[in-house]
Chain A
Amino acid sequence: MSDEPLVEHLFRHQFGKMVSVLTRIFGLSNLEMIEDAVQDTFVNALTKWRIQAPDDPEAWLMQAAKNRMVDLFRKTKAENKHTEQLYYSPGAHHLNELLLDHEIEDAQLRMIFVACHPALKPEEQIAFALRSIAGFNIKEIAVGLLLPEETVKKRLQRARKKVVDQGIEFAVPSGAELLPRFNRVMDVIYIIFNEGFQSTHQAQIIKKDLCGEALRLCQLLLKRDEMRSSKLYALFALLCFHSSRLDTKISPEGELIDLEHQDRTQWFWPLIKLGNEAMNKAMERDELSTYYFEAAIAGEHIKARTFAETDWDQIAHWYACLLEWHDHDIYRLNLAYVHIQQGNFANAERLLLQIPPKNLADRQYLLFGTWAELHKAKGDHQKANASLKEAIEAVTNDVERRYLRGKLRG
């Protein structure tokens, strides 16, 4: 048997690939049957391999996928009732062709665009994408998105029903439909990433996986010439810059570490390099986006060797651009924080006063926390503590709460 450990996430990624390829053949109306069939393949692999591991697990899975396809052809032919027109004739030649790398990528790309179809609500799009492209099961999606399993199940059911009922085509849209859908695809990738990056819940592994999947989907899009827009490059750069810091954000004890106290020597340089390259590509074209400015800001933080060396003026400039491009209270809040770092307290206060707490919903505590920073910077520790207490009152997760409490003591 092979001594090599399995490629990381091999099963999960293989699941996504196989589901996409099979969907290309059997159509979206058979999606549930396909997912069950692929799941079976994995159960078989697990049962068999635990006693006798194959020399080449990846090839084994691929062969199993092929066998499964042939089975399904027989099955759908025999039943012949739910079968729609198959897109391909089941010749062995065709099967092999569909399993070439670029054909698998093509099938996955189609699946991403289906997931982002406007008939699906945003929350359904995300659940569908995580299931059918990224190979998460209901439980993993529930943990990743901090939702009850029942909710995830319903969202997936609704999404699948819409895909079938509305006869959504398993294709990348063309013409006028393409751009809005492409934008939505990028948004969904961004949201999946943030679910992983911003959340502070305990399931560290799932959290990292969400970020990893978002990066992978982005890379899948970047493989296609026609998809390589400045906006996509900027999104990729942003995800790379953020991901490079992922391991330094939470201490081994599960405590939150802010940007000032992260061990910058542990930031992951290969990702930063990838991010820089993508950012250069993004800058080649004169096309701006929120991703572009967010990536510029993240890149500026990455550039600083220590927190003290941060170029706050440059960051303030990017936030001002960002606010002008897309007015949002979270950006305003961040700019206020930057002004505090610059010692520009009057501007910071002016901005904070412009933000109605309720606009921030469950992120209100960030506003109170920033007020606390401002008071502290001005030397008013009493007011700082009062604001911190407000923040602690408003915060919804334990990790952030402990972080804020730690500041209260300090």
Chain B
Amino acid sequence: MKEFMMIFVGTSYEELGLSPEQMQARMGKWFAWSNKMESQGIAHRGEALHDAVKRISGPDRVVGDGPFVESKELVGGYYIVKAETVEDVVEIAQDFPDYDLGSSVEIREIMVFDQ
């Protein structure tokens, strides 16, 4: 088993102006996705990220406040899942609920160093 990070990239919900009812509907889709993974025995964990960004860069360690990317490219959160292959994760990501909002999923394998 390998571990993969699914990174959720897209417009922040704050900018979409969804109504309470629409937000609830979207929530339901996320719950369904999470439940589906659970029922298939796919271990997953993750965190959600706030929109605000601080960036430190350059030899002078210049501190700046975001946003630094277009709002539709904001990283909103991630899941870490266990799977055999990246194709399996691509399969899991089929049910990501926010494609219709223009959001996307990036999958990266988590590196393990053999000693």
Chain B neighbourhood of A9, CB < 8 A: 21, 24
Is B46 located at the chain interface by the 8 A CB criterion? yes
B97 to chain A, nearest CB (A): 8
Could you list which residues of chain A lie within 8 angstroms of chain B, going by C-beta atoms?
Answer: 1, 3, 5-6, 9-12, 14-15, 39-40, 42-43, 45-53, 135-137, 139-140, 209
* A137-B31 contact given A46-B13, A47-B77, A48-B48, CB 8 Å threshold: no
CA distance A226 to B5 in the complex (A): 59
A and B contact pairs by CB, cutoff 8 A, 28 listed? A6-B24, A6-B27, A10-B24, A11-B23, A11-B24, A12-B20, A12-B21, A15-B20, A42-B23, A45-B23, A46-B13, A46-B18, A46-B27, A47-B50, A47-B76, A49-B27, A49-B30, A50-B30, A50-B97, A51-B77, A52-B46, A52-B48, A53-B30, A53-B34, A137-B18, A137-B19, A137-B20, A137-B22
- Chain B's interface size range is 20 to 34
Is B26 located at the chain interface by the 8 A CB criterion? yes
Is B71 located at the chain interface by the 8 A CB criterion? no
User: 6 smallest A-B Cβ distances: which pairs?
Assistant: A137-B19, A50-B30, A11-B20, A11-B24, A15-B20, A12-B20
Out of B21, B24, B50, B76, which one reaches A140, CB within 8 Å? B21
* A135-B21 contact given A3-B35, A47-B77, A53-B34, CB 8 Å threshold: yes
Is B47 located at the chain interface by the 8 A CB criterion? yes
Could you list which residues of chain B lie within 8 angstroms of chain A, going by C-beta atoms?
Answer: 12-14, 17-24, 26-28, 30-31, 34-35, 46-50, 76-77, 79, 97
Measured CB to CB, the nearest residue on chain B to A57 is: B27
Most buried by B among A6, A47, A48, A51: A51
CA distance A1 to B26 in the complex (A): 17
Out of A14, A43, A51, which one reaches B14, CB within 8 Å? A43
Chain A neighbourhood of B79, CB < 8 A: 51
CA distance A10 to B13 in the complex (A): 18
Whether A137 pairs with B17 at a CB distance below 8 angstroms is yes
Chain B neighbourhood of A48, CB < 8 A: 48
Chain B neighbourhood of A137, CB < 8 A: 17-20, 22
B57 to chain A, nearest CB (A): 26
CA distance A317 to B17 in the complex (A): 51
Chain B neighbourhood of A6, CB < 8 A: 24, 27-28, 31
